[in-house]
A = this chain, B = another copy of it.
């Protein structure tokens, strides 16, 4: 159900004449401004966005999605900058989604090194968007999938998704990519220490960036030792280590080669389909979570029922688990 008072804010008079599916059609024709607009709607949680996303959905699933995650300062943005260059030289169009680490605080500040990426702004084959989600129920991962779909429908061959690999929601986004790249740097101490232990579980490619710094061989040796300790039977991808100096455009070709190798592996082993299925399932769950809460409040919240439940919680007359059981019973009884 659309809240018209709210959606009107986003509806220009011109748009009202062709009320439905206008943005979606424009995006499918490759209109970058339309894509930027729909992304803004997604960020703002505008209800209009859903109808457009529905239409786009049937034209998605064609892009190859690459995740880039790592600690702050590991040089992810510079790496993406040189990756854009390399993919463009291969005549691939590129979409970039930067999950803004500052978003919960600031609603989207721009880091210094993002500006570097903007040198591609005049290239029609490159579309860069920094994603800042507002509010807490909306969900960072849901918004990210929506923007992936938009860039996919826009016709981008490659979509790069950058997150700071620190937050739970930010790491979870790596579940939606085809190739997950974890960026490390020598001598970053604690961060590498804490990341190392579990890093192999999500990384398809391990990039040691700033490979001109001291400690690179120690880090490489450590990662190699970790890989040797784990068992990689035939048919299981063994994370590949790549050394880069993104700032000097060194190692980029090896990284691209690694990405292509991993994609080849996914396709030939049938694991590509498994990943796609998994990310579709997670998207369904994300949409479900959001819609179910709405459905509850629409169906159940007669006579301020939910407010009364919260009263009971505040005064410890009821516990939240029993309260939720009652709400679900009300919902499934159709009351």
Given contacts A112-B190, A323-B284, contact A198 B292 (CB under 8 A): no
- Bound form: Cα–Cα A164–B164 in Å: 12
Residues from chain B with a CB closer than 8 A to the CB of A320 are 57, 280, 283-284, 287
* A284 neighbours in B (Cβ, 8 Å): 306, 309-310, 313, 320, 323-324
Q: Does A233 sit at the interface, judged by CB under 8 A?
A: no
Copies in the complex: 2
The interface residues of chain B lying within 8 Å CB-to-CB of A164 are 166-167
> Are A194 and B111 closer than 8 Å at their CB atoms?
yes
Closest B residue to A138 using CB positions: B168
Chain A 248-286, CB-CB to B under 8 Å as 1, else 0, gives 000000000000000000000000010011001111110
Binding site for B on A (CB under 8 A): 50, 53-54, 57-58, 60-61, 71-73, 100-107, 109, 111-112, 133, 136-137, 140, 164-172, 175, 190-191, 193-199, 201-202, 273, 276-277, 280-285, 287-289, 291-293, 295-296, 299, 306, 309-310, 313-314, 316, 319-325, 327-328, 331-334
Given contacts A104-B165, A164-B166, A287-B321, 11 further A-B contacts (CB under 8 A): A53-B319, A54-B322, A72-B166, A72-B191, A105-B198, A111-B193, A136-B172, A284-B313, A284-B320, A292-B296, A331-B332
